[in-house]
Amino acid sequence: MEHFESWKDLLNPEFYIKMGGFWLILFIIFAETGLFVGFFLPGDSLLFVSGIYAVEIVDQAIGSTGSDFLDTTILATAIAIAAVIGNEVGYWFGRKTGPALYKKEDTFLFKKKYLFQAHDFFEEHGALAVIMARFLPVVRTFTPIVAGIVKMDKTRFLIDNIIGAFLWSFSLIFAGHYLDRLFMDQFGIDLKSHLEMIIIIIVLITNVPIIVKFFFGKKKEETHIED
């Protein structure tokens, strides 16, 4: 069992895996959209690193099947289901609270600017935003709320929610698991020994769209205003 030592642990996926394993991972994935705290919890990096530890995680929780593929599939499926439930809770909350959220004051767990970002993303990409948002930190936390606020069709939202959750979960979990195997077999490199670098790379890659949107989107708006 790991022990909490500093706030840096909250950004380290390996900390959650070793501290609580399977069930804590599911709770974190649910909390990203179900409790609206995804902007500081690890999401993409947690899935990738969980894929590396997939067999150990499943073995400790429910017992290994004896197959790496089945164990990884079980983990990816469970995480996808947790993600679907989280989004549904976010959508329900958006439908119930509606515009009142835009008047809510900022707190440690709620930042209004993220809600506006998710709204702009949803307006730009429409229903497809529910699927795409899964791969974007922060945006995925608030997109289901916005979908609820604008009263997106429940069935359409559920379908996109399921597609996005399974694509997100399976792509990152299996990437982590089999890239770890590939690097070990082909190059003798154990990815577990390079997790800090891997996490940094994942964070940079997943945040590129947001960074580009922030800088270039801002310039585009300024140009439009000048015209």
| Averaged pLDDT of the chain | 81
**Residue 2 pLDDT greater than 80, yes or no:** no
**Residue 226 pLDDT greater than 60, yes or no:** no
Q: Kindly list the distances between the CA atom of residue 23 and the CA atoms of 18, 19, 86, 132, 213, in Å, as whole numbers in the listed order.
A: 11, 10, 14, 26, 35
CA distance 143 to 145: 5
Mean pLDDT lowest among 23-32, 52-61, 118-127, 140-149: 118-127
Q: What is the pLDDT of residues 60-91, one digit of tens each?
A: 999 999 999 999 999 999 999 999 999 999 99
Q: What's the pTM?
A: 0.79
Give me the pLDDT at residue 69, please.
96
**Residue 137 pLDDT greater than 60, yes or no:** yes
Amino acid 212 reads V
CA distance 47 to 184: 19
For residue 29, give every residue at least 6 positions away whose Cβ sits within 8 Å of its Cβ, in sequence order, or none.
43, 46, 47, 79, 82, 83, 86
Give me the pLDDT at residue 205, please.
67
How much of the chain, in percent, has pLDDT values that exceed 70?
Answer: 80
**Residue 186 pLDDT greater than 50, yes or no:** yes
Give me the pLDDT at residue 224, please.
40
* DSSP class per residue in the chain: -----SGGGGG-HHHHHHHTHHHHHHHHHHHHHHSS-TTTS--HHHHHHHHHTHHHHHHHHT---S-HHHHHHHHHHHHHHHHHHHHHHHHHHHHHHTTHHHHSPP-SS--HHHHHHHHHHHHHHGGGHHHHGGGSTTHHHHHHHHHHHTT--HHHHHHHHHHHHHHHHHHHHHHHHHHHHHHHHHH---GGGGHHHHHHHHHHHHHHHHHHHHHHHHHHHHHHHH-
Q: Determine contact, residues 148/92, Cβ cutoff 8 Å.
A: yes
- Between 139 and 172, the more confident residue is 172
Q: Kindly list the distances between the CA atom of residue 50 and the CA atoms of 17, 57, 225, 227, in Å, as whole numbers in the listed order.
A: 7, 8, 46, 49
Confidence at 219, pLDDT banded by 50, 70, 90: very low
Encoding tokens for residue 56? 């150990």
